[in-house]
Chains A and B, each alone.
Chain A
Amino acid sequence: MLLEVEGLCVNYGHIEAIRDISFSVPEGSVTTLIGANGAGKTTTLKTLSGIRKVRAGSVKFDGKDITHAAPYERVKLGISQSPEGRRCFVGMSVRENLDMGAFVRNDRKSKAYQEDMDRVLTLFPRLSERINQSAGTMSGGEQQMLAIGRALMARPRLLLLDEPSMGLAPKLIAQIFSIIKEINAQGTTVLLVEQNAAQALKAADDAHILETGEIVRSGKGSELAGDDSVKAAYLGGDI
């Protein structure tokens, strides 16, 4: 297992945002956490990145306990995130944003760095067209591509994606998801948080459903996608 979460609890003040959740992400997989607004998906990812403090439980990455590691230590270990709402550096150009993604690397002048840059620009040709444009002037879809590309520049072993489909047109969502599959095929493990359950379950090997801070169902992506109660609750189907 690349990532193992055991009995994780996270609070916002006195409010319990996450109650005792456990799940794991196998190496090489696409794992998804789906759920409605306020279910605790984003909090889970923030906790995995070290932005939120853990109240109880443990997080292990590649067998190493990182429950209390600082965010930059986790990036160095190989966990990087494309955050909710993209959060691109709007005053910086596309290239500068991608360079920021590689902040923890010290091989800026190396061939490997250039290869990673080329890889990102091949995945997202739109970004290479706009390489010197400032990120703030780009559309939502382009900013989403930049946020994912930026996270890839850290050479992550585990890529955390927080709602990459948010606010995008259906055509663009399909494109983003096919790129996620491609990133995974190139060897990066992906943990995907989504409200768009249909797309997420289709793309995922394993899936977990979060409801008010607890995992209520777990299974294979295809299995849950075919389940009637899941369909009723998340996929807009009727029983």
Chain B
Amino acid sequence: MSKLKLSLSKLPKPVKIAMWVLLAILAYALPLLEPPFITTPGVDFGGVLFVVTMYMLVALGLNIVVGYAGLLDLGYVGFYAVGAYTAAILTSFHANWPLLFALPIAVLASTISGVLLGAPTLRVRGDYLAIVTLGFGEIIRLVAVNTEWLGERKGISNVARPPSVGGTEGLFEIPHLYWGDGTVLIDTQDTTKFLVFGVLDQIPYYWLGLTVVIIMLFADYLIKNSRVGRAWEATREDEDAAELMGVPTFRFKLLAFATGAFIGGLAGALYASRQNFINPDSFLLLFSILFLAAVVVGGQGNRWGVLVGATLVAYLPQRFREFDDFRVLVFGLALVALAILRPEGLFPPRRTVRAKQLEQELEELEVGTDGEEKAHA
């Protein structure tokens, strides 16, 4: 694993870039290729892939809060809901805005809700924060259930879709592949119109979702390697020591919360737009737990790890749908197995691995330096 990583990092830069581009093209083409074993029988593959990208987005956002800044947030679905409801209200229930105008407002609303929740609660540490955020997620849902203005239990329908490029027929049509017995054919009957955001074909939504995920990955890379990223890391490791270094830890924790809320709200708004319909049941506590599971399973603090975690959490239950209720049991068993075998997640960040090695090495080292000191004396 690490050997593979090493040999990959030695490749010249153009080769590396070419590999990334190839990977991205493959990711975009995935629902058109419809590779056997990977496709989801009985559920629309494009739709599942869209949900996977939403989980990826949410996992990236929650990873900033939990993985980078070390703040346990059990109510992340609340931000997702604020984004979704804002988009729904502005495009359907109380106004008729196009989605592109509603999106920035939805994201702004969830960011503000992040600041409003964070400002009083980030002063408490550890367990208390988890409890407060848990309450926040439920309060948002219960407010939606009980407010006529937000559609109560019935929810809000006719949420605006993204604008189609090139009218209802799109710019051009892309055929899918058809996998027969031992043969692969291009199926000209089964095509996706580029870029039509309609009712049936979910693939354009997936492309939109994937594009947003890629943009957020870049943003995540930049912010992690900036002064802000270092401040988060120091705060997570030792808050008092970070203060002594001159890091205003409260401000940086609030920034992490707001950034996480921003991404969560964006995912929520996109989700509402694809669903065309939302009601409070889309924002149960269960989703906060699944989002957190995606981050923890993947390896908190590692952006690629949490993407894998998000994929597993969103994709596996759909892939094994035919096992019906057993899939929940299997999912649970898989999580328990993971907790025992890889407690830091599938792909823990370099630092966590180092911290793990530390314990053994430290003992040897202490013995080593003791000897040295005696030699000096």
A83 within 8 A of B: yes
A90 within 8 A of B: yes
A231 vs B112: C-alpha distance when bound (angstroms) = 61
Interface residues of A in 172-217 (CB under 8 A from B): 172
Of B38-46, B146-154, B237-245, B268-276, the one with at least 4 CB within 8 A of chain A? B237-245
**Contact partner of B373 among A81, A99, A101, A169, CB < 8 A?**
A169
**Contact partner of A134 among B354, B368, B377, CB < 8 A?**
B354
**Contact partner of A87 among B241, B246, B357, B376, CB < 8 A?**
B241
The answer to whether B230 touches A72, judged by C-beta atoms less than 8 angstroms apart, is no
Chain B interface category by residue count: 20 to 34
The answer to whether B358 touches A90, judged by C-beta atoms less than 8 angstroms apart, is yes
Separation in Å of the A120 CB from the closest CB of chain B? 14
The answer to whether B238 touches A87, judged by C-beta atoms less than 8 angstroms apart, is yes
The answer to whether A92 touches B245, judged by C-beta atoms less than 8 angstroms apart, is no
The answer to whether B355 touches A90, judged by C-beta atoms less than 8 angstroms apart, is yes
Looking at chain B's contact residues, is the secondary structure mostly helix, strand, loop, or mixed? helix
**Contact partner of B237 among A72, A90, A140, A141, CB < 8 A?**
A90
Mask: chain A, 48-74; 1 = CB below 8 Å from B; 0 = not: 011100000000000000000011100
B3 within 8 A of A: no
**Contact partner of A91 among B355, B361, B365, B368, CB < 8 A?**
B355
Q: Kindly name the residue among B369, B376, B377 whose own CB sees the greatest number of chain A CB atoms within 10 A.
A: B369
A91 vs B357: C-alpha distance when bound (angstroms) = 11
The answer to whether A70 touches B365, judged by C-beta atoms less than 8 angstroms apart, is no
A75 vs B370: C-alpha distance when bound (angstroms) = 35
The answer to whether A141 touches B244, judged by C-beta atoms less than 8 angstroms apart, is no
Separation in Å of the B32 CB from the closest CB of chain A? 42
Q: Kindly name the residue among A51, A88, A104, A136 whose own CB sees the greatest number of chain B CB atoms within 10 A.
A: A136
Separation in Å of the A14 CB from the closest CB of chain B? 21
Contact residues in A for B248 (Cβ distance below 8 Å): 70-72
Q: Kindly name the residue among A104, A137, A138, A172 whose own CB sees the greatest number of chain B CB atoms within 10 A.
A: A137
Chain A interface category by residue count: 35 or more
Contact residues in B for A71 (Cβ distance below 8 Å): 243-244, 246, 248
Separation in Å of the A121 CB from the closest CB of chain B? 18
B351 within 8 A of A: yes
A19 within 8 A of B: no
A75 vs B243: C-alpha distance when bound (angstroms) = 9
Mask: chain A, 141-162; 1 = CB below 8 Å from B; 0 = not: 1100000001100100000000
Separation in Å of the A215 CB from the closest CB of chain B? 24
Known interface pairs A91-B237, A91-B354, A171-B373; A83-B244 also in contact (CB < 8 Å):
yes
A137 vs B356: C-alpha distance when bound (angstroms) = 10
Task: Name the CB-closest residue of B to A99.
Answer: B230
Task: Name the CB-closest residue of B to A175.
Answer: B376
A104 vs B247: C-alpha distance when bound (angstroms) = 8
A81 vs B245: C-alpha distance when bound (angstroms) = 8
Nearest first, the 6 A-B pairs at minimum CB distance are A75-B246, A104-B246, A87-B241, A91-B351, A136-B358, A139-B369
- Can you report 29 residue pairs joining A to B where beta carbons are below 8 Å apart? A71-B243, A72-B247, A72-B248, A75-B245, A75-B246, A83-B240, A83-B241, A87-B240, A87-B241, A89-B237, A90-B237, A92-B351, A103-B227, A103-B231, A103-B246, A104-B246, A134-B354, A134-B355, A134-B358, A137-B354, A137-B362, A137-B365, A138-B365, A139-B366, A140-B366, A150-B245, A154-B245, A171-B377, A172-B373
Interface contacts beyond A71-B244, A100-B242, A104-B245: sample of 16 additional A-B pairs, CB < 8 Å, sorted by A: A50-B243, A70-B248, A71-B243, A75-B246, A83-B241, A89-B233, A89-B237, A90-B237, A91-B237, A92-B237, A96-B230, A99-B230, A103-B230, A134-B354, A134-B358, A154-B245
